[in-house]
Amino acid sequence: MKLLVFAGSLRKASLNRKLAKHIARAAEAEGAQITYVDLNDYPLPIYNGDIEDAGMPDNVRKLQSLMKAHDGFLISTPEYNGAVPALVKNTLDWISRQQADGESGGALFKGKVAGLCSASPGALGGLRSLLLLRDQLAKLGMWVAPTQFALGKAHEQFTDSDALKEDHHKAVRGVIQDVLSFRTR
Decide the pairing of beta strands 2-7 and 33-37.
Answer: parallel
- Domain with residue 140: its CATH number is 3.40.50.360
Looking at residue 165, its pLDDT comes to: 82
Looking at residue 125, its pLDDT comes to: 87
162 compared with 177, residue with greater pLDDT:
177
Domain that holds residue 32: 2-184
CA atoms within 13 A on the CB side of 154: 26
Number of structural domains (the chain) is 1
Within 8 A by CB and 6+ apart from 49, the residues are none
Looking at residue 60, its pLDDT comes to: 98
**What pTM was estimated for this model as a whole?**
0.93
The pLDDT of 47-52, averaged and rounded, is: 96
Alpha helices in the chain, H assignment, sequence order: 15-29, 49-54, 58-68, 86-95, 127-139, 169-181
Q: In whole numbers, what is the pLDDT of the chain averaged over residues?
A: 93
Task: Give whole-number Cα distances, 71 to 26, 38, 179, in Å.
Answer: 17, 18, 10
Within 8 A by CB and 6+ apart from 84, the residues are 8, 77, 129, 132, 133, 136
Buried b (16+ CB within 10 A) or exposed e, 113-151: bbbbbbbbeeebbbbbbbebbbebbeebebbbbebbbbb
- What are 14-39's pLDDT values in tens digits? 999 999 999 999 999 999 999 999 99
- How many residues are present in the chain? 185
Q: Is the pLDDT of residue 9 over 90?
A: yes
- What are 114-171's pLDDT values in tens digits? 999 999 988 888 899 999 999 999 999 999 999 999 998 899 888 888 888 888 888 9
Looking at residue 124, its pLDDT comes to: 84
Collapse the DSSP code of 170 into the 3-class scheme (helix H, G, I; strand E, B; otherwise coil) and give the result.
helix
Calpha distance 95→66 (Å, rounded)? 10
Looking at residue 185, its pLDDT comes to: 46
Q: Is the pLDDT of residue 184 over 70?
A: no
- What are 56-80's pLDDT values in tens digits? 999 999 999 999 999 999 999 999 9
